[in-house]
Amino acid sequence: MLEFLGTLGANIISLPGILGLALGMMTRRLWLGALMGGLVGVFETLIFAHGNFAGIGAVDLMISVVVGLCAGTVGSAIRIKGATV
């Protein structure tokens, strides 16, 4: 359980969370923000596995993609709400 929570927290404050949020704030389309955040999650996992697909754990990849999707969607929502104020 601690390993899962550590992986989740590390992804939130790492590239999928921060860069996914920033890329999501570049668009007003929720699906595009989520897509860009998810791609950041895939690339981040691949980079930290040194480009070796065999070194990627399925749980780590799933968590980073989900965090990227959520961060990108939140970034787009921030952009939409900020544009109406």
* pTM beyond 0.95: no
What pLDDT score was predicted for residue 56?
Answer: 84
Statement: residue 52 has pLDDT above 70: yes
What pLDDT score was predicted for residue 34?
Answer: 95
Instruction: For residues 33-56, give the mean pLDDT.
Output: 89
Task: Confirm if 64 and 48 have CB atoms less than 8 A apart.
Answer: no
Residue 79's pLDDT band (boundaries 50, 70, 90)?
very high
* Euclidean distance between CA atoms 68 and 57, whole angstroms: 17
* Euclidean distance between CA atoms 67 and 55, whole angstroms: 20
What pLDDT score was predicted for residue 70?
Answer: 95
Residue 85's pLDDT band (boundaries 50, 70, 90)?
low
Largest CA distance in the chain: 47
